[in-house]
A and B are shown apart, each in its own frame.
Chain A
Amino acid sequence: MPASTKIISAVDLYRTMYTIKECDDQFWTLMQSGQVVLNYYSPRGQEAVATGICAALDSTDYLVTTYRGLHDHLAKGVPLSDLWAEFLGRATGTCKGKGGPMHITHPDSGLMVTTGVVGSGLPIANGFALWSQINGDGRVTACSFGDGASNIGAFHEALNLASVWKLPVIFVCHNNLYAEHTALAAGTGVTRIADRAASYGMVGVQVDGNDPLAVRDAAAEAVARARAGEGPTLIEAVTFRFRGHQFGDPGEYIDKAEMAAARERDPLPRLRARLLDEFGASPDELTALEDEVRAAVTQAAKDALATPEPSVEELFTDVFATTAGGAA
């Protein structure tokens, strides 16, 4: 498989980021109105990380992500309608309503696993990369996780194994500076998570996670390294989450001044301003793009709400692929 030949413009990046933000806003509104009840971990503020990483991946490359995964799902290309239906537990969802927001899988987009267990995606990502390495299919596997996940054993086992085997994998730490309610410094023995790569003889880079172009460039280097057989990379993308740990978390542990400063770095208005100043986009063009995205998300939400829940027979399907008597 050749290196990525797709050309993604800064406007395309903005479209993806705006889609993520718009989905997040609409979920939020639905939850606040009580129309929808779900365990929801907002990626608002982290759009640039997912968007930049996926801009450097091909659609056949793999991504493994976490419960805070909406941005990854959309950036990797999971269709809006299927994703919305799954988030709302509908029969037409990616996983027939059996996975839910914490367990999105959509192999056609290369979105292979979404885990709700902190840190567990890293060892699994290695497995995808291992088979690509043996099979010679040229694919790269990226794996998203949080800053808190860099303190769990699975992270360390996985980085070490990936390094020893020179696996074509990219570990992407979405460092939003909090693990649940615990600030980075209170739970993590290093200030730069990228430094942890050194323990495993791996390249570690820290990047501004609010700048999708910087993230994309770092990811492109890591992808090239992986495809060349030169092994894994740890990318630490420093960012922030604006809506607390999960829906219902008032975020009282976050200092007001810290939040205000983080809002100054909000990746969306920042990229929008750059599009106007540096990339020659017009305000009308961007407004039209935003309207279009909003309409598409509104439609996906409407469609998902109108589709039925899975039939109860689905409870017992898909536990096994084959039963003792033959087929499932």
Chain B
Amino acid sequence: MTTTATRTTRASFRDGVNRALDDAMASDRRVIVFGEDVADREGGGVLTVTKGLSEKYGTSRVRSTPISEQAIVGAAVGAAIAGARPVAEIMLNNFLRVAADQLANHAAKLRYMSGGQTTVPLTVRTICGAAGGFGAQHSDILDSEFAHVAGLKIVAPATPSDAYGLLRSCIEDEDPCLFLEHLKLYFGGPKEVLADVPERIPLGSARIARAGTDVTVVTYSQTVHDALAAAKAVAADGIDVEVIDLRTIAPWDEQTVLESAARTRRIVVAHESAVPFGIGGEISSRIHEELFSQLAGPVLRVGSAHTPVPFAAALESAYLINASTIETAIRKATKA
């Protein structure tokens, strides 16, 4: 990152999210936070991400809710139109399906349906991804499911500083944003030194996580780290991989991806959710539409298995995308 760090303590992903909420609440009284168990009396969230906020800003602005996902997201919709900047927490991405009506039918569409008279500047934060045997109903990443809805912005950071900078931007954005926080980033994700005043990261801008010349891997969220590991593994064989961390899934940074693809001519799209009907299909198609004749070979896609997420550790790891499945795809791309 380009920020000049003057602090020396290394921030975790959790710290990045927590500080973004804290700073947003401090700078704008319209920012309110609610979700299951998010207030300090209830522990400050299941992963303590909201710890300290209710003590600092009061239980009017930071509220624990009943287990009522439709009521949570619906309250965010109404409050956002009324002038608040609500940040609603839906504990796990799977549970957002319970509130899909509020997010997809209402948050995403009310601005359009009103002819621009109202806006819905809400943020929904949610933990996603498979790790540690939570099984089929607690491990999904609903990226393509919601990316297909016109009117939503979808953000999926991979690092603490991006978590900070992107969450600040989501909260300040005039449109509804879905903020995906991968569970693995909370446990063993990389730590970083955050600046005293960390930068905001604009929505829709990708980051070159590793510059390279031979193959481009386009990815986001936790999978960025798998892609970087794969890049390191093939570097020993002289394959120089560029890793693009999209950071924002919708709208995605076409320009950065197409520029890189035009240079390397070999592209792999990698994400944890399954390949069929996924984000990779969209990115791959756009690259083919723009650069077909210049490519050395077809854009390859890698993801996890198109199955429900299994419980047993052996099955879960067989299900999951990882550095070696990405490495295999990179090597295949270089053969084209």
A164 at the interface (CB under 8 A from B): yes
Judging by beta carbons under 8 Å apart, are A154 and B70 in contact? Answer: yes
Taking CB atoms and an 8 Å cut-off, the chain A residues in 269-328 that contact chain B are: 317-325, 328
B118 at the interface (CB under 8 A from A): yes
A153 at the interface (CB under 8 A from B): yes
Judging by beta carbons under 8 Å apart, are A161 and B111 in contact? Answer: no
Partner of B114, one of A95, A127, A130: A95
B61 at the interface (CB under 8 A from A): yes
Taking CB atoms and an 8 Å cut-off, the chain B residues in 216-242 that contact chain A are: none
Nearest-CB distance from B182 to chain A (Å)?
Answer: 22
Known interface pairs A123-B75, A127-B74, A134-B84. Does A103 touch B113 (Cβ–Cβ under 8 Å)?
A: yes
Return chain A residues, CB-CB under 8 Å to B83.
131, 135
B174 at the interface (CB under 8 A from A): yes
Return chain A residues, CB-CB under 8 Å to B66.
157, 160-161, 164
B298 at the interface (CB under 8 A from A): no
Return chain A residues, CB-CB under 8 Å to B105.
115, 117, 120
Return chain A residues, CB-CB under 8 Å to B101.
117, 120, 154
Nearest-CB distance from B216 to chain A (Å)?
Answer: 20
Nearest-CB distance from B155 to chain A (Å)?
Answer: 12
A88 at the interface (CB under 8 A from B): no
Q: Report the stretch among B129-137, B198-206, B263-271, B277-285 that lies at the interface.
A: B198-206
Return chain A residues, CB-CB under 8 Å to B51.
none
Known interface pairs A120-B105, A165-B63. Does A324 touch B111 (Cβ–Cβ under 8 Å)?
A: no
Judging by beta carbons under 8 Å apart, are B112 and A319 in contact? Answer: yes
Judging by beta carbons under 8 Å apart, are A120 and B81 in contact? Answer: no
* Band of interface residues on B: 35 or more
Which residue on chain B has the smallest CB distance to residue A141? B78
Partner of A318, one of B76, B84, B116, B251: B116
Separation of A106 and B106 alpha carbons in the complex (Å):
16
Judging by beta carbons under 8 Å apart, are A127 and B78 in contact? Answer: yes
Taking CB atoms and an 8 Å cut-off, the chain B residues in 140-168 that contact chain A are: 150-151, 153
Separation of A161 and B202 alpha carbons in the complex (Å):
34
Nearest-CB distance from A50 to chain B (Å)?
Answer: 20
Known interface pairs A123-B74, A321-B111, A323-B251. Does A128 touch B79 (Cβ–Cβ under 8 Å)?
A: yes
Return chain B residues, CB-CB under 8 Å to A318.
111-112, 114-116
Return chain A residues, CB-CB under 8 Å to B70.
120, 123, 153-154, 157-158
Taking CB atoms and an 8 Å cut-off, the chain B residues in 82-111 that contact chain A are: 82-84, 86, 101-102, 105-106, 110-111
Taking CB atoms and an 8 Å cut-off, the chain B residues in 32-51 that contact chain A are: 32
Which residue on chain B has the smallest CB distance to residue A129? B78
Which residue on chain A has the smallest CB distance to residue B120? A321
A99 at the interface (CB under 8 A from B): yes
Judging by beta carbons under 8 Å apart, are A321 and B79 in contact? Answer: no
Separation of A165 and B64 alpha carbons in the complex (Å):
10
Known interface pairs A157-B70, A318-B111, A319-B150. Does A131 touch B79 (Cβ–Cβ under 8 Å)?
A: yes
B175 at the interface (CB under 8 A from A): yes
B248 at the interface (CB under 8 A from A): yes
Known interface pairs A120-B105, A127-B86, A324-B202. Does A106 touch B74 (Cβ–Cβ under 8 Å)?
A: no
Judging by beta carbons under 8 Å apart, are B84 and A120 in contact? Answer: no
Judging by beta carbons under 8 Å apart, are B116 and A107 in contact? Answer: no
Separation of A317 and B121 alpha carbons in the complex (Å):
17
Judging by beta carbons under 8 Å apart, are A105 and B173 in contact? Answer: no
Judging by beta carbons under 8 Å apart, are B116 and A317 in contact? Answer: yes
Which residue on chain A has the smallest CB distance to residue B108? A319
Which residue on chain A has the smallest CB distance to residue B80? A127
Judging by beta carbons under 8 Å apart, are A128 and B81 in contact? Answer: yes
Partner of A124, one of B77, B117, B119, B253: B77
Judging by beta carbons under 8 Å apart, are A123 and B118 in contact? Answer: no
A112 at the interface (CB under 8 A from B): yes
Known interface pairs A127-B77, A165-B63. Does A321 touch B114 (Cβ–Cβ under 8 Å)?
A: no
Judging by beta carbons under 8 Å apart, are B248 and A105 in contact? Answer: no
B6 at the interface (CB under 8 A from A): no
Return chain A residues, CB-CB under 8 Å to B79.
127-128, 130-131
Judging by beta carbons under 8 Å apart, are A124 and B251 in contact? Answer: no
Judging by beta carbons under 8 Å apart, are A126 and B78 in contact? Answer: yes
Partner of A322, one of B69, B74, B174: B174
Taking CB atoms and an 8 Å cut-off, the chain B residues in 167-213 that contact chain A are: 173-175, 202-205
Separation of A125 and B112 alpha carbons in the complex (Å):
19
A237 at the interface (CB under 8 A from B): no
Partner of A122, one of B74, B76, B84: B74
A232 at the interface (CB under 8 A from B): no
* 16 A-B pairs with C-beta separation under 8 A: A95-B113, A98-B115, A103-B114, A112-B81, A112-B82, A112-B118, A127-B84, A129-B78, A131-B84, A135-B84, A318-B115, A319-B112, A319-B151, A321-B119, A322-B173, A323-B204
> Which 7 interchain pairs have the tightest Cβ spacing?
A127-B78, A123-B74, A324-B204, A321-B174, A96-B115, A95-B115, A105-B114
Residues of A within 8 A of B (CB): 62, 64, 93-99, 103, 105-107, 112-113, 115, 117, 120, 122-135, 141, 153-154, 157-158, 160-161, 164-165, 317-325, 328
A164-B66, A322-B175 provided; 13 other pairs, C-beta below 8 A? A99-B114, A106-B117, A124-B102, A126-B71, A127-B84, A130-B78, A131-B84, A134-B61, A157-B71, A158-B74, A317-B116, A320-B174, A323-B204
